[in-house]
């Protein structure tokens, strides 16, 4: 499968982008597939740090292909991660997605703020309302990711204390 090789044998960003574009799979579906492969726990690597770096690189490459208007996939990613039986893998995926979600939303909000030119004499404009809605969305999503990460951290700690294989 496409991700098994890319996770264990890192490629250049250009090669990764070309592979993803040639796959004819929508970027949001690629991201969900990548997380499912990661959460399956079937990838074995002697160096877990390299594996997490590869996951991060692949996730960033896929996010680069997703249009700015497409945002519903973050909720789907949360569902996929929360349904994982491997709490350690799920925790790493949640932390990565939480960080990337914040980065994507912050970039979008900053871009919107720079594009909006508001007359200081106007009290409330559509652009200001839109900006406020974007901040509300970011706040809600940030809380959802924080809650998911906290629950997964507790589950991972509990799994480690009881001797189960949470990180495998």
pLDDT tens digits, one per residue of 40-88: 877 766 677 888 888 888 888 888 887 766 767 888 899 999 999 999 9
Rounded (5°) CA angle 24-26-30: 100
Q: Are 125 and 113 in contact (CB under 8 A)?
A: no
CA distance 109 to 103: 10
Query: What pTM was computed for the model?
Result: 0.76
Q: Residue 106: its pLDDT value, please?
A: 64
CA distance 84 to 40: 8
pLDDT tens digits, one per residue of 91-138: 999 999 998 888 876 665 455 545 555 555 555 565 566 666 666 666
Token pair listed for 124:
């409330």
């Amino acid at each position: 499968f496409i991700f098994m090789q890319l996770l264990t044998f890192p490629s250049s960003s250009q090669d990764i982008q070309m592979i993803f574009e040639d796959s004819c799979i929508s970027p949001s579906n690629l991201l969900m597939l990548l997380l499912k492969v990661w959460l399956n726990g079937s990838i074995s690597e002697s160096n877990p740090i390299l594996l997490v770096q590869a996951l991060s690189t692949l996730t960033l490459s896929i996010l680069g292909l997703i249009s700015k208007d497409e945002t519903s996939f973050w909720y789907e990613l949360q569902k996929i991660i929360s349904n994982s039986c491997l709490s350690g893998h799920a925790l790493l995926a949640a932390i990565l997605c939480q960080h990337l979600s914040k980065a994507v939303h912050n970039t979008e909000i900053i871009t919107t703020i720079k594009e909006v030119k508001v007359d200081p004499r106007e009290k409330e404009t559509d652009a200001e309302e839109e900006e406020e809605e974007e901040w509300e969305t970011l706040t809600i999503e940030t809380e959802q990711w924080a809650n998911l990460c906290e629950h997964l951290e507790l589950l991972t700690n509990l799994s480690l204390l009881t001797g189960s294989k949470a990180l495998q």
